[in-house]
Amino acid sequence: MPATITRRPAKKKRRAPGLGGQPPLDRRPRGGDGGGGDGGGDNWQNERGGPRELLLRIRAFVFSALAADMLFFAILVTVFFASHGASHMDPRTQKQIGDWHPIMLPPILYLNTAILLLSGITMELARRNIFREIDALEEWLGMGRPALHRALPWLGATLTLGSLFLAGQWVAWRQLTAQGFAFNQYATPASYFFYLITGFHAAHLLIGILALVFCLTALGLLRRMDYRQIAIDATAWYWHTMSLIWLLLLAVLAFGQ
C-alpha cells in the first residue's frame, strides 16, 4: 500500500519584542523587585480585569470629580459677576452707590502663574516617563524599575514648583492686606471675591500636592507596574486641570472687574 503522508502544522514563531512592542507572552509579568517578577502576572487579554480597564475606570472617576470641581468654580465666577450690581443708599445724598470697587492685582500673581505652568510641564514629563514603553517593558520582565526612576525627579520638581506657587499666593494675600484690602467684615466685594476665588483654588492645589507626596513616598512600595502608572496618571490629569482652572480664574480677576 502506498504510504500516506500527514503534514504537521507549522510551529508559530513568537515575535521578539522590539521597541515599543509587547512581550511575547499572553500574561505580562508584574515586574517585581527580583528577576522574573513575582510569578503572578496581569491578564492583559482580559477586558474586565486588565490594567488598561483599571486605568480607564480610574480616569473616569477622576474626570467626574474634576467636572464637579469645574462646575463649582463656574458657579463661583457667576456669583462674582452678579456681585458687580450690588449697591447701597447713601444717607447723605439719597443716591444709590455701587459697592463694587475694582482692586489692583498683586504683580506676583503673574509670576505664580508662570511657576504653575512650568509645574504642568514637569508633571507631564513624569507621566510620559512612567509610560515610556521600553522602560515599562524592562519592568514587566523584572529587570528593575527604570520607568519609575525616570519619573521620580520630575515628580519632585512638580512638588517643589507647586509648593512655590502656594507660597507665592500667600505673599499675594499679604500684599493685598497691606494695601488695605484685608479679608474681614469690612472687605469690599472685589477683595472678598479675590480671597474667595484664590483661596478655593489654593485648597484644591493643596490636594494635588498631597497626591504628589503620596506618589513620591508610596510608589517605591507598589510592586505592580500598572498601579504606579495609574497613580501618576491620575495625579497628572488633576494637576493639569487645576492649572487650566487657574488660568481662567486669573483672566476673570484681571479682566472681569
Q: Determine the Cα–Cα distance for residues 86 and 97; give it in Å rounded to an integer.
A: 9
Helix axes 108-130, 225-255, angle to 10 degrees: 160
84, 219 Cβ separation under 8 angstroms = no
Identify the sign of the CA torsion 11, 12, 18, 23: negative
Length of the chain: 257
Q: pLDDT, tens digit, for every residue of 116-131? A: 999 999 999 999 888 8
**pLDDT tens, 36-91?**
344 334 444 444 557 788 888 999 999 999 999 999 999 998 888 887 655 555 55
Can you tell me which residue has the cell 483672566? 251
* pTM of this structure: 0.73
What fold characterizes domain 51-82+107-255?
Four Helix Bundle (Hemerythrin (Met), subunit A) (1.20.120)
- Asked if 126 and 154 count as a contact pair (C-beta separation under 8 A), the reply is yes
Could you read off the pLDDT tens digit of each residue along the chain, which spans 257 residues?
455 545 555 554 444 444 444 443 344 444 444 433 443 344 444 445 577 888 889 999 999 999 999 999 999 988 888 876 555 555 565 555 556 677 888 999 999 999 999 999 999 999 988 887 776 676 666 666 777 788 889 999 999 999 999 999 999 999 888 887 777 656 677 778 888 999 999 999 999 999 999 888 887 777 777 888 888 999 999 999 999 999 999 999 988 77
| 46/31 Cα distance (integer angstroms) | 18
> How far are the Cα atoms of 36, 85, 183, 190 from residue 180, in angstroms, in the given order?
65, 23, 10, 12
